[in-house]
Structure 1
Amino acid sequence: MLKTKTISKQNMYDTVMKQFNKTADIIELNPNIRKILGITNNEIIVHFPVKMDNGKVEVFTGYRVQHNNALGPYKGGLRYHTTVDIDAAKALAMWMTWKTSLTGLPYGGAKGGIQIDPRDYSLAELERITRRFTYALGENIGPEHDIPAPDVNTNTQTMAWIADTYMSTKSTSERSHNQHVVTGKPVGSGGLEGRDRATGYGVYLSIKLLLKTKGEDLKGKTFIVQGYGNVGYWASHFLIEDGAVLIAVQDAHATIYNENGIDSEKLAQHTEPRKGSIKGFSEANEIDATEFFGLDCDIVIPAALGNQITAENAYRIKASIVAEGANGPTDNEGEEILLQNGVTILPDIFCNSGGVIGSYFEWLQNRNGELWQLEEVLQKLEKKITENFYKIHAEVQKREVDWRTAAYILAITRIETAYTQRGIFP
């Protein structure tokens, strides 16, 4: 086993650029297209004032980075987190471009958010912050131009506020044609049945399909999850339903462990009144955070933030599968260690793509005035994810490369083909 304790200083933008350049070298990407894809199309920074509950005004900074729209409108989430800055938004936007391309969707990539900890604000303040941010973005978003969605610390309510604010800036006759300016809305406000579980379902399905290629199934497989938000919960829900055993969960406040299994539903009920914290869950023991990645298990699911698996901790991982529920959770140094140790990494641009596929279904539903049932949505998700899995699997076998490299080759080649066929204006 390769071991190293060299501490990684790499940020997410460094990670995504190294991944892109590695792939561009492998496929001998057209140098002109390489120049285009190596930069963002637009980087939008807005500063906007909001009156707080105490009557004082705070000025917030919001970001929206639009990386590329060669395949269709920009698409990507908005997150409310203290780590949001222009470099993080650029990295996440680029990952979205690869993700939408890989999944075969008619979208490009974008990302953004506000640099705040939403726990510091009341619900009324968050509504005013969100609405003012939407107004500040103005025509930089739109149902055929740039379609935001939920991400870290944003949810269906956030999307409902954005949609309502955006539509209120349109004339009465135009409002009904702008509902799909965001996806991830509440079902009662044009949202999609099953959108809440789409990302976690995709994580579960990607693991199940990988095990199937090895002649195995999920029964008795142990797994650990970092981050117990929407993705972590739903991935756990489906994995446990299929026979796997959740033995540890980590969030920003605690790391809990029970070798006999953790009940995902009870843990979800525990976190609800605590704004997502797993701390204090009585049916598991709290352990030191540094022990988490080294726990003896079959599957690791990082479903929190970027750059969590690095040279500092990758050598501790005993699992044979890392399924990236988060965007960019493994940096390049950490990945090198995992691959040398024989770990299969299901890359983020495939593993968590169920969310953007679900978003596409919602967008279509709104555009066409349709209503899709939950069973239909999950069937469509399974079909799309399974098709994409076997395309990547074939590339892995043909080129004898790791899963991320194979996924990147497919994603970037599709965009290269679009540019080659259309040419560069003028």
Structure 2
Amino acid sequence: MAIITVTPSKSVKNVLVKGMMDNVMEQFNNAADHINLHPNIRKILSITNNEIIVHFPVKMDNGEVEIFTGYRVQHNNALGPYKGGLRYHPTVDIDAARALAMWMTWKTSLAGLPYGGGKGGIQLDPSKYSEGELERITRRFTFALADNIGPEHDIPAPDVNTNSQTMAWIADTYMSTRPPAERTANQHVVTGKPEGSGGLEGRDRATGYGVFLNIKFWIENKNETLQGKKFIVQGFGNVGYWAAHFLEEQGAKLVAVQDAFGSLENQNGIKVEDLFNYSKAKKGSIVDFPEASPLDTESFFTTECDICIPAALGNQITKENASTIKAKLIAEGANGPTNVEGEKILLERGITIIPDILCNSGGVVGSYFEWLQNRNGEMWQLDEVITKLDKKMRESFNKVYEYSETEGIGLRTAAYCIAIKRIEKAYVQRGIFP
């Protein structure tokens, strides 16, 4: 009963999603102009390769059947298989997936990985479903995608509201539908799996650790240390928690947090592990944490701090609030958290932005390590993973920082220029078929 559509959607469901697509295209065009990208390659990179929409039925716990809509957008694979997460969220639609897939193309290219970019998910609020229902939804979605994913074609990973358990269900369903002789050879169809099911030790913290590293590298270039620096985090999920965890280890102080339920502040510092344990007990909510005071949601970004980490959803920093931000550094843990208008205001105020395609790329680098581990039948230890991740992230940061300084442009445009040039080189060398 799956319906596969490869014609791009014309509809725009909400301003948030439309803004994301506008952002990614303006960012792309700014960099393309700067490097004088060949017009033919600009045309190719301005569109997606494939856009897949699937509608599929799932039986709920009460016996009723509900129809879900899932998406997978494959933007570009000039450098290798499509790579990118699957998210479960009410804002997921073809336009959101399209923008996020394009960001993944730039992210994997910038990191020097043999991947292209893809993204997708299901339009739903997972909090409204039981674990059993989510398992059936995930497995039926995997079946509906059929031959549109694969370990050498398109490799999903966790994203907003999905996790290692979600990936385990996808991997098991996918392998179960392959011929018996091929099943164990397809374990790397997804990354971000549990360690006992082919996952990489340390993959859970890779994105947040990468955010921390980029902040640390930037601070070091200013001949400063993280000791005593105040930071705020929007989104206290996997990325926000691990970034805060490593920053606190280096002497930085978490002074404000915001999640989907509320905001907290304590200028004397919020203990990261205490808040994490509290939120786990409260099913993910930080509300009423006893060691901090409630903060008005609209006032979150105005909090006095040195570093701001938006690690939730897109379009959170806009022209409406960019002028009130106190931080000297924005480290983008989420994809597209700063829109173009907001960024212009921040840059005019002298605030540095470490862009998403650099700042949160630790996740896809960790995914690459897991993919290699599965492909080669190896088992990597945590210290080895962290060492490799540190080296890879430092290389990427240095490239972007030096290009930014040499060209006199912002870190985002510098990152885009490097990423696009790598893809352009592949097209120039290979040519266009036929």
Tell me the TM-score normalised to structure 1 length.
0.98
More deviation, 389-398/90-99: 389-398
More deviation, 345-354/389-398: 389-398
Which secondary structure does the structure 1 equivalent of 2:22 belong to?
helix
Return the alpha-carbon distance in structure 1 between the equivalents of residues 283 and 427 of structure 2: 45
Q: Does residue 85 of structure 1 match 2:100?
A: no
Shift of the alpha carbon at 1:252? 1.3
AA aligned opposite 1:176: T
Contact 1:294-1:317 at 8 Å conserved across structures: yes
Return the alpha-carbon distance in structure 2 between the equivalents of residues 51 and 305 of structure 1: 30
- Paired position in structure 1 for 2:287: 279
Pairwise CA RMSD of aligned residues? 1.0
Which secondary structure does the structure 2 equivalent of 1:178 belong to?
helix
Which secondary structure does the structure 1 equivalent of 2:185 belong to?
coil
Contact 1:8-1:312 at 8 Å conserved across structures: no
AA aligned opposite 1:371: M
Instruction: Give the alignment of 1:19-418 within 5 angstroms.
Output: 19-418=27-426
Shift of the alpha carbon at 1:312? 0.7
Return the alpha-carbon distance in structure 2 between the equivalents of residues 74 and 340 of structure 1: 36
Which secondary structure does the structure 1 equivalent of 2:338 belong to?
coil
AA aligned opposite 2:33: D
Shift of the alpha carbon at 1:277? 1.2
Q: Kindly provide the CA deviation profile for residues 261-309 of structure 1, in whole angstroms up to 9, marking residues without a partner as x.
A: 0111111111113331111211110110011101110000000000000
Q: Kindly provide the CA deviation profile for residues 137-195 of structure 1, in whole angstroms up to 9, marking residues without a partner as x.
A: 00100000000000000000000000000000011110010000000000000000000
Return the alpha-carbon distance in structure 2 between the equivalents of residues 221 and 266 of structure 1: 19
Return the alpha-carbon distance in structure 1 between the equivalents of residues 169 and 283 of structure 2: 20
Q: Closer, same or farther in 2 for the Cα pair 1:334/1:8, shift >3 Å?
A: farther
AA aligned opposite 1:148: P
Return the alpha-carbon distance in structure 2 between the equivalents of residues 260 and 10 of structure 1: 39
Q: How many residues align?
A: 420
AA aligned opposite 2:135: E
Return the alpha-carbon distance in structure 2 between the equivalents of residues 270 and 87 of structure 1: 36
Return the alpha-carbon distance in structure 2 between the equivalents of residues 371 and 351 of structure 1: 27
Which secondary structure does the structure 2 equivalent of 1:11 belong to?
helix
Return the alpha-carbon distance in structure 2 between the equivalents of residues 125 and 178 of structure 1: 25
Shift of the alpha carbon at 1:393? 1.1
Return the alpha-carbon distance in structure 2 between the equivalents of residues 321 and 280 of structure 1: 28
Q: Where do 5+ consecutive residues of structure 2 fail to align? A: 1-14
AA aligned opposite 2:230: T
Equivalent of 1:424 in 405, 411, 432 = 432
More deviation, 367-376/269-278: 269-278
AA aligned opposite 1:86: I
Return the alpha-carbon distance in structure 2 between the equivalents of residues 10 and 256 of structure 1: 30
- Paired position in structure 2 for 1:4: none
Shift of the alpha carbon at 1:416? 0.3
Return the alpha-carbon distance in structure 2 between the equivalents of residues 8 and 313 of structure 1: 15
Return the alpha-carbon distance in structure 2 between the equivalents of residues 27 and 275 of structure 1: 47
Q: Kindly provide the CA deviation profile for residues 11-50 of structure 1, in whole angstroms up to 9, marking residues without a partner as x.
A: 1011001111111111110000000000000000000000
Which secondary structure does the structure 1 equivalent of 2:121 belong to?
strand
- Paired position in structure 1 for 2:5: none
Return the alpha-carbon distance in structure 2 between the equivalents of residues 110 and 42 of structure 1: 9
Return the alpha-carbon distance in structure 2 between the equivalents of residues 360 and 321 of structure 1: 28
Contact 1:302-1:326 at 8 Å conserved across structures: yes
More deviation, 267-276/157-166: 267-276
Return the alpha-carbon distance in structure 2 between the equivalents of residues 274 and 77 of structure 1: 26
Return the alpha-carbon distance in structure 2 between the equivalents of residues 96 and 397 of structure 1: 24
Contact 1:8-1:311 at 8 Å conserved across structures: no
Tell me the TM-score normalised to structure 2 length.
0.96
Q: Where do 5+ consecutive residues of structure 1 fail to align? A: 1-6
Contact 1:66-1:110 at 8 Å conserved across structures: yes
AA aligned opposite 2:170: I
Contact 1:80-1:153 at 8 Å conserved across structures: yes
Shift of the alpha carbon at 1:9? 9.5
Shift of the alpha carbon at 1:10? 5.7
Structure 1 runs (4+) greater than 6 angstroms displaced: none
